[in-house]
């Protein structure tokens, strides 16, 4: 289980362009961090670098567990969940099928997935094909999968964008519960998060 994540002297490059250099970040258990910055500052790339998809041009990303440093690939496979711009849901499959596969794949169980769906008000929609869900409903399904997966580090890329005010407040409660259980949240946002979070600005 991930207890802390640290980036030191991180530099990311996309193509010829350097997004940022010498970036430092430290996040511990129970902490939330809001990444802000203009479009193209590298918020998404930073999240994807921490998730292991993008190799940094310089610097390193390290994960700490209860018993010391963790092997990065192993830490990611068992402890990281990324909600990107896309929800990763197949239009032709039912919401229930997608939720069960994805929550199970990331280590959750069926009871937890159903409970998460109920919390997010999805129970009545589970029988529908994903293509019949609205953007907000699809995002709620992705968030139910996130909540149902026993992953410590949540990497969230604009998680609230398609949600209405009530659902945002509700997801705030779920984030608070995750932090109280020793989780870590790193979210790229334009609007403020509904919970108290350290703000870090990228680029300018």
Partner 1 sequence: MSAAARLFRRELALAWSGGGGPLLALGFYAAVTTLIPLAASPDPRRLAGVATGVAWVALALASLLSLERMFERDFEDGALDLISLGPLPLEAVAAIKALAHWTAAGAPLALAAPLAAVALGAPVALAPLIAVTAAIGGLAFAFVGGLGAALALGSRRGGLVIAVIVLPLIAPPVIFGGAALDAFAGGLPWTTGLLLLGAYALAAIALCPFAMAAACRNALS
Binding site for partner 1 (CB under 8 A): 48, 51-55, 73, 76-78, 80-82, 84-93, 97, 101-102, 104-107
Count of C-beta atoms within a 10 Å radius of residue 39: 8
Taking the complex as a whole, the smallest distance from the CB of residue 104 to partner 1 amounts, in Å, to: 6
Residue with tokens 């609230």, as numbered in its chain = 160
Taking the complex as a whole, the smallest distance from the CB of residue 199 to partner 1 amounts, in Å, to: 26
Taking the complex as a whole, the smallest distance from the CB of residue 166 to partner 1 amounts, in Å, to: 26
Q: Which is nearer to partner 1, 52 or 172 (CB)?
A: 52
Q: Which is nearer to partner 1, 115 or 129 (CB)?
A: 129
Contacts of 184 by beta carbon, 8 Å cutoff, 6+ apart: 2, 4, 5, 27, 28, 29, 30, 31, 32, 152, 153, 154
**104-116: b (≥16 Cβ within 10 Å) or e:** bebebeeebbbeb
Taking the complex as a whole, the smallest distance from the CB of residue 82 to partner 1 amounts, in Å, to: 6
Count of C-beta atoms within a 10 Å radius of residue 37: 19
Q: Which is nearer to partner 1, 6 or 48 (CB)?
A: 48
Based on its alpha-carbon atoms, the radius of gyration of the chain, rounded to whole angstroms, reads 17
Residue with tokens 């409660």, as numbered in its chain = 173
Q: Which is nearer to partner 1, 89 or 122 (CB)?
A: 89
Taking the complex as a whole, the smallest distance from the CB of residue 89 to partner 1 amounts, in Å, to: 7
Contacts of 74 by beta carbon, 8 Å cutoff, 6+ apart: none
Q: Which is nearer to partner 1, 23 or 154 (CB)?
A: 154
What is the side-by-side strand order in the sheet with 68-70?
17-28, 2-14, 58-65, 68-70
């Amino acid at each position: 289980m991930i207890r802390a994540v640290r980036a030191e002297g991180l530099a990311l490059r996309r193509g010829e362009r350097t997004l940022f250099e010498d970036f430092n970040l430290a996040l511990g258990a129970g902490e939330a961090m809001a990444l802000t910055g203009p479009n193209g500052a590298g918020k998404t790339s930073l999240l994807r670098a921490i998730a292991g998809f993008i190799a940094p041009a310089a610097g390193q990303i390290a994960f700490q567990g209860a018993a010391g440093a963790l092997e990065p690939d192993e830490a990611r496979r068992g402890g990281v969940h990324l909600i990107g711009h896309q929800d990763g849901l197949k239009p032709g499959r039912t919401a229930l099928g997608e939720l069960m596969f994805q929550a199970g794949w990331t280590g959750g169980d069926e009871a937890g997935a159903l409970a998460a769906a109920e919390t997010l008000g999805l129970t009545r929609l589970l029988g529908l094909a994903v293509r019949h869900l609205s953007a907000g409903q699809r995002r709620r399904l992705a968030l139910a999968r996130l909540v149902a997966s026993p992953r410590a580090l949540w990497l969230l890329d604009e998680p609230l964008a398609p949600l209405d005010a009530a659902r945002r407040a509700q997801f705030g409660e779920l984030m608070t519960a995750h932090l109280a259980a020793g989780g870590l949240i790193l979210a790229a946002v334009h609007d403020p998060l509904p919970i108290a979070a350290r703000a870090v600005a990228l680029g300018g």
